[in-house]
Amino acid sequence: MPRFLKKGDKQFSTEDANMSRLVTKIRWIVESSNARIKTWKYLSHTLPTNQIPFIGDFVRIVCALSNKYAQPLSQCRDVESDQLEAAKMIHLSKMSNTLKEHVETENLLKKKLIWKVASECDFENFPRLDDQELRNITCGVYQMKLASSYIQEYTDEESDIFVHREDSNLLRIKIQSRHTSSKKHQLWIRYNESYIDSWYCLCRAGARVVGACSHVAAVLWYLGKELYKDKSVSYGVRNWENMF
């Protein structure tokens, strides 16, 4: 089961966020299996207690029919690749978030004068990222599917990307929440010319290192891939303000 946020906390610890990501990585196949079973009308409703002795047999019959005649819910095209991905995620789940520790130790959240507004020339050394490299960072595709809608909010407003005055490879970004119009998530990204070194976001799951949250993924997608593309392209949700 995914970890639950403790009462009074606003963010999962790195360990809890990592473990929850391991669960959500494979949870969809379990939920899809349950959904397939519930396509049978009898099993889609709450059953009376007098049916308990028979439910197990009915589920086994339905599962046998599904296995025989239904399409597989998942097809493994590359066993070795999947095993490597799983091994990587398990290894990452045991690691700490060094950038989170740095942000907290140096109190970077409250220090304002050490940051300057970024310009495009500040991103000349930002590594170029293709789709595969982005998937390697996020450990999946879900976050990448949300990236364009987050970036649409960013491109419609003034820049909220800042560069550390003494460490040009450390960025601080504020990105609009998709759920609350008055809320912005704050995150940090450290990189070098070759790869993304670390990341940390203040959202609930932002401390994890097994993949990245949607806010970090959106920024990486934009700075690493989309920044130098056609600026007239609309990302994600359409901005209807331009229609009036």
Question: Does 243 reside within a domain?
Answer: no
User: Which of 227, 225, 226, 197 shows the shortest CA–CA distance to 212?
Assistant: 197
Average pLDDT on 175-183 reads 72
**Looking at residue 95, what is its pLDDT?**
95
Residue pLDDT, tens place only, 201-224: 999 999 999 999 989 999 999 899
State the chain's mean pLDDT as an integer: 85
User: Which of 164, 182, 181 shows the shortest CA–CA distance to 172?
Assistant: 164
Question: Does 179 reside within a domain?
Answer: yes
Question: Does 27 reside within a domain?
Answer: no
Question: Does 13 reside within a domain?
Answer: no
Residue pLDDT, tens place only, 60-73: 999 999 999 998 88
Give the other-Cβ count within 10 Å of 46's Cβ. 4
Contacts of 241 (CB under 8 A, 6+ apart): 156
Residue pLDDT, tens place only, 1-25: 778 888 888 899 999 999 999 998 8
Question: Does 73 reside within a domain?
Answer: no
Question: Does 223 reside within a domain?
Answer: yes
Q: Which two tokens mark 222?
A: 């934009």
Q: Hey, what's the torsion of the CAs at 60, 62, 63, 69, to 10 degrees? A: 140
Q: Is the pLDDT of residue 152 over 90?
A: no
Question: Does 220 reside within a domain?
Answer: yes
Question: Does 198 reside within a domain?
Answer: yes
**Looking at residue 94, what is its pLDDT?**
94
Measure the CA–CA gap between 91 and 127, rounded to whole angstroms.
24
**Looking at residue 26, what is its pLDDT?**
84
**Looking at residue 243, what is its pLDDT?**
36
Residue pLDDT, tens place only, 113-150: 999 998 878 888 899 999 899 999 999 888 888 877 77
Alpha carbon of residue 3 to chain centroid: 16
Find the domain containing 179 and state its range.
96-229
The neighbouring-strand residues paired with 201 are 187
Tokens 């593309």 correspond to: 229
**Looking at residue 182, what is its pLDDT?**
65
Q: Which amino acid, 235?
A: Y
> pTM higher than 0.85, yes or no?
no
Residue pLDDT, tens place only, 64-113: 999 999 988 877 778 888 889 999 999 999 999 999 999 999 999 999 89
Number of domains observed in the structure of the chain:
1
Q: Is the pLDDT of residue 155 over 80?
A: no
Average pLDDT on 190-199 reads 94
**Looking at residue 241, what is its pLDDT?**
44
